[in-house]
Amino acid sequence: MRYPVYKPEITKNEKIYVNECLDSTWISSRGKFIEKFESAVASFVDVENAIAVCNGTVALHLAIEAYGIGAGDEVIIPDFTYIATANAVKYTGAQVVLADVNLNSWNITVENIDRCLTPKTKAVIVTDIYGTPPEMDEIREYCSIKNLILIEDAAESLGAVYKTQKAGNLADVATLSFFGNKTITTGEGGMVLTNNNEIAQKIRKLMNQGNSEKVRYYHDILGYNYRMTNIQAAIGYAQMQRIGSIINRKRKIFEIYKNELDGLVQFQEIQEHTKSSYWMVSFLLRDKFSRNKLMTKLEENGIETRPFFYPVNKMPFYENCGNLDTEKLSDTGINVPSYPTLKEEDIKWICSIIKNNL
Ligand SMILES: Cc1ncc(COP(=O)(O)O)c(C=O)c1O
């Protein structure tokens, strides 16, 4: 038996809807499932516009570009995030500025954003790391005072709640990923969410080769083909129909791990007013040596794990970013199996191996 870190659950409706696409030959980026999927996500997150695209990275690229951010501008992002957050900024020609994260919440803070502020700063991207949004009230207030665009990279947090608002609706614009290990998957896929209709319109144009609204096959701006297919949307729509139970299951899986391991390992600090999506169960070990030793032991038992992301500043094309402290997280963090069909007794067995090897 092998326990992967993640595998999506594909049920009957995904297959029915995909077959409907195949039978009807609506397999490209037109077809009823795109609209159904977009509406389902918009209504779940409670946001005006949901725009399906082909992955979470291009969703970020579109969100940044739609605000006219580019060469000569700076965008502050957390040093601890998936590389796509940084790359999407770089694609636009803007400069990536890396802010440290808090070692308990693993998230960006106003204090760390403020240290990176310059007259060239145009936007801040927060990542809801491992499914947990940062302190958004403080960050929103700061961005509003400093006149900065706020972008939420919610790739990992669909289903999380900050106070009364859902993740994906916590900033000027937000992005989702539907990669196979995300709360909802479409294989590859992503979405841009915003309450700003003008920005939404711009994003639809940019993702569609910059097509003029007035003249067919006339392209009055440089655009991209970042469209999602009807087949991908069919899978996503089927998943959205049972998102409540998927999220409940993820929370339950986290609770079992937490009950077994609390006090022995360091979980992410989550404020009372925040509910995480618990994208992947994650925790820190004492040091890099014990983390790596535990990973080897779990692998010997068929249990796959993942180390935390490297800090962005460790990549050769993002170096020279100042005095950053996120290496500790990256060196000691681990993701353990958290897929929805994982059974309680298997989690307890995995935890027993963890406890014996701390
Ligand atoms: C925080 C974060 N941002 C962006 C992405 C990029 O999404 P995708 O892989 O769909 O391009 C991911 C996906 O892993 C992610 O975790």
Counted residue by residue, the chain has a size of: 358
DSSP-derived 3-state class of residue 25: coil
Q: Tell me if 21 sits within 8 A of 230, measured CB to CB.
A: yes
Digit-by-digit pLDDT tens for the chain (358 residues) are 899 999 999 999 999 999 999 999 999 999 999 999 999 999 999 999 999 999 999 999 999 999 999 999 999 999 999 999 999 999 999 999 999 999 999 999 999 999 999 999 999 999 999 999 999 999 999 999 999 999 999 999 999 999 999 999 999 999 999 999 999 999 999 999 999 999 999 999 999 999 988 888 999 999 999 999 999 999 999 999 999 999 999 999 999 999 999 999 999 999 999 999 999 999 999 999 999 999 999 999 999 999 999 999 999 888 656 556 788 999 999 999 999 999 999 999 999 999 999 9
Hey, which residues does 177 pair with through a beta bridge?
190
* Residue whose tokens read 């499914």: 131
Gap from CA of 57 to ligand 1 centroid (Å): 6
> CB burial class (10 A; 0-12, 13-18, 19+) of residue 145?
exposed
Count other C-beta atoms under 10 Å from residue 343's C-beta.
10
Report all structural domains of the chain as residue ranges with CATH numbers, in order of start: 12-240 (3.40.640.10), 243-356 (3.90.1150.10)
Q: Does the Cβ of 183 fall within 6 Å of ligand 1?
A: no
Q: Which residue from 54, 55, 57 has its CB within 8 A of the most atoms of ligand 1, so it is best to mutate?
A: 57
Q: What is the pLDDT, as a whole number, of residue 69? A: 98
Q: What is the pLDDT, as a whole number, of residue 239? A: 97
Q: What is the pLDDT, as a whole number, of residue 116? A: 94
Q: What is the pLDDT, as a whole number, of residue 325? A: 73
Q: What is the pLDDT, as a whole number, of residue 269? A: 97
Q: Does the Cβ of 134 fall within 6 Å of ligand 1?
A: no
- Between the alpha carbon of residue 274 and those of residues 222, 260, 277, the distances in Å are 40, 22, 10
Please identify, by atom number, the ligand 1 atom nearest to the C-alpha of residue 177.
10
- Of 89, 67, 93, the C-alpha closest to 79 is 89
Q: What is the pLDDT, as a whole number, of residue 89? A: 98
Q: Does the Cβ of 102 fall within 6 Å of ligand 1?
A: no
- Of 255, 73, 62, the C-alpha closest to 175 is 62
Gap from CA of 217 to ligand 1 centroid (Å): 32
DSSP-derived 3-state class of residue 298: helix
Q: Does the Cβ of 52 fall within 6 Å of ligand 1?
A: no
pTM (two decimals): 0.97
